[in-house]
Amino acid sequence: MRKRLVPFAIEPTAADLAAIEVEWPLIAAELDLLDAEITLLNAVDHGGPSPLDWRRVRRAAARVTRTAADLGRHTPVTSRHAA
C-alpha cells in the first residue's frame, strides 16, 4: 500500500536565513580557500605551483581560521537539551 505524501514547500525560514547571514563570512573564507586549492591543482599541469600560489593558500587558510575563531567568539552556544 502506498502512502500519500503531503506536499509542502521547503523554503528557508527567517531563522535559517539569519543563521546563514551570520555564518556568511566563514562561508566566503572557505570558498576562497577552495579556490586557492583548485588553483594549486591546476598549476601542476603548468610547471607546478608558484610561491605566490602557496602564499595564497596559506593566507586563505589563515583567514578561515581567523573567521571561524571570530564566529565562535561572537556566536552564543545553545544546547538542545533542557536542564
Give every CB contact of residue 49 below 8 A, 6+ residues apart in sequence: 39, 40, 43
Calpha distance 32→20 (Å, rounded)? 17
- pLDDT tier at 83, thresholds 50, 70, 90: very low
Residue 43 in any domain: the answer is yes
pLDDT tens figures, 42-72: 998 899 999 999 999 999 999 999 999 999 9
Task: Count how many domains the chain has.
Answer: 1
What is the per-residue pLDDT for 26?
97
Residue 6 in any domain: the answer is no
What is the per-residue pLDDT for 80?
53
| Portion of the chain with pLDDT greater than 70, in percent | 81
Q: Which residue range is the domain that position 53 belongs to? A: 21-73
Residue 10 in any domain: the answer is no
What is the per-residue pLDDT for 62?
98
What is the per-residue pLDDT for 53?
95
